[in-house]
Amino acid sequence: MLKKVKLLILLLFVFCNHIFANDGYKLWLQYNYVNNESLREDYLNAVQNLLPSGNSETINIALKELQLGLSDMLGTDFTSKINKDNGNTLIFGSEANLGEDIKLQLGNTFNQINEEGYAIKSFKLRNRNYIVITGKSDVGVLYGVFEFLRLLQTHKPIENLNITDSPKIKIRTLNHWDNLDRTVERGYAGFSIWDWHRLPDYLDPRYSDYARANASVGINGTVLNNVNANALILTPQYLEKVEALANVFRPYGIKVYLTARFSAPIEIGGLETADPLAPEVINWWKQKADEIYARIPDFGGFLVKANSEGQPGPQNYDRNHVDGANMLATAVAPHNGIVMWRAFVYSEHDATDRAKQAYPEFVPYDGQFKDNVLIQVKNGAIDFQPREPFHPMFGAMPKTPIMMEFQITQEYLGFSTHSIFLPKLFEEVLKADTYRKGKGSIVAKDIDGSLDNKRLTGMAGVSNIGNDINWTGNTFLQANWYGFGRLAWDPYLSADTIADEWLRQTFTNDEKFINPVKEMMLDSREAVVNYMTPLGLHHIMDTGHHYGPGPWVSNLSRPEWNPVYYHKADSLGIGFDRTPTGSNATEQYAPEVAQVFNDLDQISEKDLLWFHHLPWDYKLKNGNTLWDGMALKYQEGVDQVKSMIETWNKMQPYVDAERYNNIKMLLNIQYKEAKWWRDACLLYFQQYSKMPLPEGVEKPTKTLDYFKSLKFPFAPGN
Ligand code: BDP
C-alpha cells in the first residue's frame, strides 16, 4: 500500500514537472523534484535537521530558501525540520555566530575566503554528521546556501563537501536602462519592474523575487535608472521610493545605485551652472550625497554617462572627465560610496574613427582619478555588437579601476526574440589577451584587478529584465541574466559550465535534454554573428531602433550613426581599414596585439572586416573569395538557426508545454529574421561586388527595394 502511494506521489511529481503550466517566473530556481531515488535518499539522509545560526533577516531568508528548495526537491516537508537536537544536521551561519566546537572543525577556512565568500564543509562530531555553510558575513552564508541548493539542483553528490569560494570581483551590478515613465531603453521584455507610481508604499513581491534571483548568482548591486538620466530621481519625492527598494534589497546583499545627471544642480537645484569646479556645484552634490545617505546608509554610489550622445558633462564647462568624476567621488567618499564613470564617449565634432575616441579621453589621465572612481568600459570600442574585438582601454590604465560593461539586453542581437546565449560572447572578451604585461594579460585579469593589483573591481550588465511574467520575454534569455551573474562572480568560468548549470536548474538533469540543448546554446552566438555581421562586419543594423538589417542607411546627420560608415562597401571591396594605412585604431593596442590585427596572415577572419578593407575577390584561408565566403557565412547562420529549431522540436518530452512553446515560437521568428538579414545584406552588398551568389546560398525571394521599404516606427526599446 505504502509503496503504491509513494509511486503515485512520484508520478504526480513527474507529471507536474512536465505537463503543468510553467510560466517561467521561477527562473532557474525551479527546485524540481529529484527523481533519482538513490540520490534523493542520500540528500534526505544528509539533511535531517536545519540549524540556523544568527537571526538576521538574511539568515531568515537563507532558512526559507533551504526549506523551500529542500521540500520541493526532496518531496518532504522541511518546514518542521528545524532546530532539532538529533539527526544529521545542516548548520548555516556566519563565523561570528558559530559555536566554538564547530569553528574548531573548520580550521583555517576563514582565511581562504573574503567578506562575501562562503565555505561548505562536511564533518562528523559526536557521532553526528554535519554540513556547515558559513562565511564572514550573513550574505556570504546566503551565497553558500544558494550554492548548496545548486549542488542538489544539478544532482551533485553532497558527501564530504569541502568547498570554499569567494567572488573575484567586488562590484557586480545590473544596470537598468529604466525610465521614470516605466519605458525601458533597449528593453524587450515589457515595461520596467519599478512601479514608481505605487512606490514607496506598495512593495510589489516582484522586488524581493528580483533580489532573490540576483543573490542566487551573486549580483550585489543594481543601478535602478537609465544612464540617459532624469534628474528627478534625485529629488526627495523619488528618493523616498528608492529608499523603499533599498530596504527590500538590503538583506539579499544588494546595494542600490543611481545614475547622476550631470546637470542636476541646474535642473533640480536651481543653480546656474553644473561646472564641477564651481564651489556651489561641489557643495550641491555634497549635500545631495548627505541627503541620500541619511535615507540609505549603504547607498552604493553614482553611475554617470557624461558628454556622450548629448548627455551633459564636465566638457560643457571646458573641464575633463577627471574633474567631473572626482567632484562626484568627493561627495560620496565620506559615506564609502563609489562613482562609476562611463567611457562610452564619442563626438560628432570629432572626425576620427569612432572606435578610437574614448581612449585619448581617458588613458592619458591614468592615476588622476580618485580611488573611489571606476571607469566603466563597454566590452568593445564601438557598441555591443554581435562580435567586437576587446576595447583597447582594457589593461591600458594600470592605476585606474576599469569596470566591464556588458549588455545583457540584446539591442544589437535581435532583441528578445533571438535565442542567443551571451556567456559565449562574454567569455571571448574576458579571455582576450591584451598583452599589456606580456602574454597572458587577459581582460579578466584587469577586471578582477589581478593584473595590476587593483583594489576596486567591477562588472556591470545592462539588464534584459522587464515586467513580462518570465522576466526576460524569452525563457531562454534567462540564461544571460544567470550567466552574467556567474561571470561577475568568477570571470574565469566557462560558458559551457554556465550553460550546463543553468539548464539543469531551469529544466531537467536528463542528459538526453542537456547534451543537445547545451550544444545549441553554445552555437547560438556564432549563429547570430553569421546571419547578421560575419567576418568582422558591424553596426549595419537599421538605425534608431536597431531592429533588422539596414546596411544601406546613409542619411543620418551624424556620420558615425550610419551603417555605411562601418562597412564602407564600394566597387573595390568592403571593410573598415583600421590599420596604419587607415584610421590606425590598432595603434591603441599593445604592439603584439596590433601586429596581429594589422597582418592579414595573422588576424582571425572573425575580425577581418573590422580592421581591413579588402577587395571582393580577396582569397580567404579556405580558398573562397571574400564575396563567396561572406555569402556562405550568411547562409551558415540561417542553417544554424534551422538546426536550433530541429533540436528544440525534439525536446518537447522534457519541457513543460508553456516554456517549450515560448521558445519554439520565438525560434521560428528568429529563423524568419535570420533569412531577412541574409537576403537584405547580400542583395545590398551584391550591388558593389557584382558577383553571383555562390552555390549553396539560397536565392532571395524579395527585392532589395522591398527590404529598404520596411519601416518599424514602433519597434520596442527605442
Ligand atoms: C547605445 C544605445 C543607447 C544607449 C547608449 C549608451 O543605443 O540607447 O544610451 O548605447 O550606452 O548602445 O549610453
Residue 85: which pLDDT band, with cuts at 50, 70 and 90? confident
Atom 10 of ligand 1: nearest residue by CA position = 383
Is 369 a residue whose pLDDT tops 70? yes
Query: Which of 177, 186, 262, 408 to mutate for ligand 1's pocket (most ligand atoms within 8 Å of CB)?
Result: 186
Active-site pick, 72, 275, 361, 383: 383
Angle at 601 between CA 597 and CA 606, to 5 degrees: 55
184 Cβ partners below 8 Å, 6+ apart?
176, 177, 178, 190, 191, 192, 466, 717
CATH topology of domain 171-501: TIM Barrel (3.20.20)
What residue ranges in 183-267 does DSSP mark as E strands? 221-223, 255-259
Amino acid 622: pLDDT:
97
* Interatomic CA distance for residues 627 and 632, integer angstroms: 9
Say which amino acid occupies 194.
W
Q: What's the average model confidence in pLDDT over 625-632?
A: 98
Separation of CA 198 and ligand 1 centre (Å): 28
Q: Which atom of ligand 1 is nearest to the CA of 378?
A: 11
Amino acid 372: pLDDT:
98
Lowest mean pLDDT: which of 38-42, 80-84, 266-270, 372-376? Answer: 80-84
Residue 494: which pLDDT band, with cuts at 50, 70 and 90? very high
Q: Which atom of ligand 1 is nearest to the CA of 177?
A: 9
DSSP per-residue codes, 13-81 = HHHHHHTS---STTTT--------HHHHHHHHHH-SEEEE-S-SHHHHHHHHHHHHHHHHHHTS--TT-
Amino acid 349: pLDDT:
85
Separation of CA 227 and ligand 1 centre (Å): 8
Atom 12 of ligand 1: nearest residue by CA position = 383
Residue 219: which pLDDT band, with cuts at 50, 70 and 90? very high
pLDDT in tens, 592-613: 999 999 999 999 999 999 999 9
Atom 11 of ligand 1: nearest residue by CA position = 344
Amino acid 588: pLDDT:
98
CATH 3.90.1330.10 domain extents, the chain: 530-576+613-709
Amino acid 347: pLDDT:
87
Residue 109: which pLDDT band, with cuts at 50, 70 and 90? very high
Amino acid 559: pLDDT:
87
Nearest Cα to 105, choosing from 87, 130, 138?
Answer: 130
Residue pair 636/669 in contact (Cβ under 8 Å)? The answer is: no
Amino acid 11: pLDDT:
53
Q: Which atom of ligand 1 is nearest to the CA of 412?
A: 12
- Distance (Å) of CA 187 to CA 9, 112, 447, 631: 42, 40, 26, 31
The SS3 call for residue 449 is coil
Is 17 a residue whose pLDDT tops 70? no
Verify cis geometry, omega within 30 degrees of 0, for the bond prior to 200. Answer: yes
* Interatomic CA distance for residues 98 and 92, integer angstroms: 8
CATH 3.30.379.10 domain extents, the chain: 28-165
Separation of CA 177 and ligand 1 centre (Å): 9
530-576+613-709 under CATH 3.10.310.10, yes or no: no
Amino acid 75: pLDDT:
97
- Exposure string over 521-536, b if 16+ CB within 10 A, otherwise e: bbbbbbbbbbbbbbbb
Amino acid 13: pLDDT:
53
pLDDT in tens, 139-180: 999 999 999 999 999 999 999 999 999 999 999 999 999 999
Atom 1 of ligand 1: nearest residue by CA position = 383
Angle at 711 between CA 710 and CA 716, to 5 degrees: 125
H or E element, residue 338: strand 338-342
Q: What's the average model confidence in pLDDT over 27-36?
A: 98
Q: Residue 439 has which C-alpha cell?
A: 602574454
pLDDT in tens, 526-545: 999 999 999 999 999 999 99
28-165 under CATH 3.50.50.60, yes or no: no
Q: Residue 533 has which C-alpha cell?
A: 555581421
Residue pair 114/34 in contact (Cβ under 8 Å)? The answer is: no
Separation of CA 305 and ligand 1 centre (Å): 10
Separation of CA 447 and ligand 1 centre (Å): 22
Residue 628: which pLDDT band, with cuts at 50, 70 and 90? very high
- Distance (Å) of CA 682 to CA 128, 333, 343, 531, 613: 69, 54, 34, 10, 17
pLDDT in tens, 113-145: 999 999 999 999 988 999 999 999 999 999 999
- Work out the percent of the chain whose per-residue pLDDT is above 70: 97
CATH 3.20.20.80 domain extents, the chain: 171-501
Active-site pick, 72, 178, 411, 656: 411
* Interatomic CA distance for residues 234 and 617, integer angstroms: 57
Residue 348: which pLDDT band, with cuts at 50, 70 and 90? confident
557 Cβ partners below 8 Å, 6+ apart?
348
Q: Residue 121 has which C-alpha cell?
A: 564543509
Amino acid 16: pLDDT:
52
Q: In the predicted model, what is the mean pLDDT of the chain?
A: 96
Give the side-chain half-sphere CA count within 13 A for 505: 27
Instruction: Indicate whether this model's pTM tops 0.85.
Output: yes
pLDDT in tens, 424-439: 999 999 999 999 999 9
* Interatomic CA distance for residues 123 and 132, integer angstroms: 8
Residue pair 674/680 in contact (Cβ under 8 Å)? The answer is: no
DSSP annotation of 632: H
Q: Which atom of ligand 1 is nearest to the CA of 462?
A: 11
Q: What are phi and psi of 233, to 5 degrees?
A: -60, -20
Separation of CA 665 and ligand 1 centre (Å): 29
Is 7 a residue whose pLDDT tops 60? no
Pocket of ligand 1 (CB under 6 A): 185-186, 227-228, 305, 309, 344, 383-384, 411
Summary count for the chain: helices (H), strands (E):
22, 15
* Interatomic CA distance for residues 464 and 228, integer angstroms: 17
